[in-house]
Amino acid sequence: MTAPSAAAFAPEPPAANADLVRRFPDEERLDNPKERLVHGPAIVRLDPASTRTSAFLPSSTEVVLVARAKVDERSWVLVSYGSPFDRTARLNGWVPHETLSGEPPRDAADGGSPKTPKPAARCAKGEVLVWGEVATCERACSDDSGCRGGERCFGVAPELVGGGLGRFASFCVGPKSGPAK
């Protein structure tokens, strides 16, 4: 039996942040089935080899499966999901395969349900404190004009307020973003 040709697959959903997402030459292309995240919040990354977070998606979020890749002996799935800030836009990002299966995530860094991290003391003006693998101050934005140096306004995570989780906040992410503070 031969593998289906690339033309046999449904076209990949267009993503507003496609130029920021790392792709792999040996990734396995999927036929874009719709699934719901089993474990959440799922930590979404632009690059599965990085700890930099681009979004958090709650359990039961509907996603479209785009591709699968093995990175550092872990299976990751590239998913397409609706932007929480623009109902007409879709975003892409990598999630650990456990977020889509019945397997429990290994730990918070693998997309599990991390405990609320200890927040930083204060964020600088123009930054927002968001929940990630660690609490970080990120540059707040409402559109790309609020970002700099190749970054785009596609990050989304719960804001930390008074030691608890608040509303979802948008922040700048991109290939030139440094490590989380």
Render 25-36 in DSSP notation, one character per residue: TTPEE----EEE
Strand boundaries in 31-89, DSSP class E: 34-36, 42-44, 55-57, 62-71, 74-82
What pairs with residue 45 in β-bridges?
94
> For the segment 64-119, what is each residue's pLDDT rounded down to a tens digit?
999 999 988 888 999 999 887 778 889 999 988 888 875 555 544 444 444 555 55
Per domain, the residue ranges of the chain are 15-110, 127-173
117: which DSSP letter?
P
What is the distance between the alpha carbons of residues 120 and 40, in angstroms, rounded to a whole number?
23
140: which DSSP letter?
B
For the chain, the first-to-last Cα distance in angstroms comes to: 50
Instruction: Please say whether the beta carbons of 67 and 14 come within 8 A.
Output: no
Q: Please name which of 79, 71, 46, 80 lies closest in space to residue 151, comparing C-alpha atoms.
A: 46
Is pTM, for the whole model, over 0.75? Answer: no
> For the segment 116-150, what is each residue's pLDDT rounded down to a tens digit?
555 555 788 888 888 766 677 888 988 889 888 88
Q: Please name which of 156, 167, 134 lies closest in space to residue 57, comparing C-alpha atoms.
A: 156
